[in-house]
């Protein structure tokens, strides 16, 4: 029967980080750790010796955003513009969407889409992140803004869809 069985899918031997030598090594290593044991958060976040901390954070944020798309797909079922007409965590916390020319309210699911699209655009921008090996300090400051906006997705989900 043609194809690959689920058992053999993504079943290749692990490679030590110090043996990886491509520009994508950090991404590959993080994905390898997740594939090996997604519950071992300590190991996944543990920065290898001699690895640049900013690149490590950047690659983790890229991976996190990729995986967060799965939550966005699930949210589409119940986070409708009619019921979640604004991005709110509680009655006291309403977030404006930065994807518009002027920050403004938009339905929560649109805020989620806009945030993930904006994060993807930024994290793949040659202007801010021309290298996957080292990152300019001025670009590192952009990571905090992405994290803050992503946190809002979790806040909304927790307070409105648990």
pLDDT per residue as tens digits for the range 82-140:
999 999 998 898 999 999 999 999 999 999 999 999 999 999 999 999 999 999 999 99
* Rounded to 5°, angle at Cα 100 from 117 and 68: 25
**Coil, strand or helix at 97:** strand
Q: What is the rounded radius of gyration, in angstroms, for the C-alpha atoms of the chain? A: 18
Q: Cα(27)–Cα(90) distance, rounded to whole angstroms?
A: 35
Detail the DSSP E strand segments found in 3-161: 87-88, 94-95
- Whether the pLDDT of residue 6 is over 90: the answer is no
Question: How high does pLDDT run on average in the chain?
Answer: 94
Q: Which domains does the chain have, with CATH numbers?
A: 1-51 (no CATH), 52-161 (1.20.140.30)
- What share of the chain has pLDDT > 90, as a percent? 88
Q: Cα(58)–Cα(44) distance, rounded to whole angstroms?
A: 14
- What share of the chain has pLDDT > 70, as a percent? 99
Q: How confident is the model at residue 154 (pLDDT cuts 50, 70, 90)?
A: very high
The distance in angstroms from the start CA to the end CA of the chain is 42
Tokens of 76: 């589409």
Tokens of 105: 């309210």
Annotated binding site for Zn(2+): 79, 84, 156, 161
Annotated binding site: 79, 84, 156, 161
Maximum alpha-carbon separation in the chain: 57
- Whether the pLDDT of residue 11 is over 90: the answer is no
Detail the DSSP E strand segments found in the chain: 87-88, 94-95
Residue 97 confidence (pLDDT): 95
């Amino acid at each position: 029967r043609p194809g690959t069985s689920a058992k053999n899918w993504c079943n290749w031997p692990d490679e030590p980080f110090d043996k990886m030598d491509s520009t994508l090594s950090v991404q590959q290593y993080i994905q390898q750790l997740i594939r090996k044991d997604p519950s071992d958060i300590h190991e996944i976040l543990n920065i290898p010796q001699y690895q640049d901390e900013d690149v490590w954070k950047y690659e983790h944020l890229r991976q996190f955003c990729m995986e967060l798309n799965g939550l966005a797909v699930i949210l589409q079922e119940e986070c409708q513009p009619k019921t979640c007409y604004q991005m709110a965590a509680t009655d006291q916390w309403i977030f404006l969407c930065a994807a518009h020319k002027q920050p403004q309210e938009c339905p929560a699911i649109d805020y989620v889409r806009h945030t993930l699209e904006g994060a993807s655009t930024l994290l793949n921008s040659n202007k801010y992140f021309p290298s996957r090996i080292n990152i300019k300090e001025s670009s590192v400051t952009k990571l905090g803004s992405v994290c803050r906006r992503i946190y809002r997705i979790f806040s909304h989900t927790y307070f409105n869809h648990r």
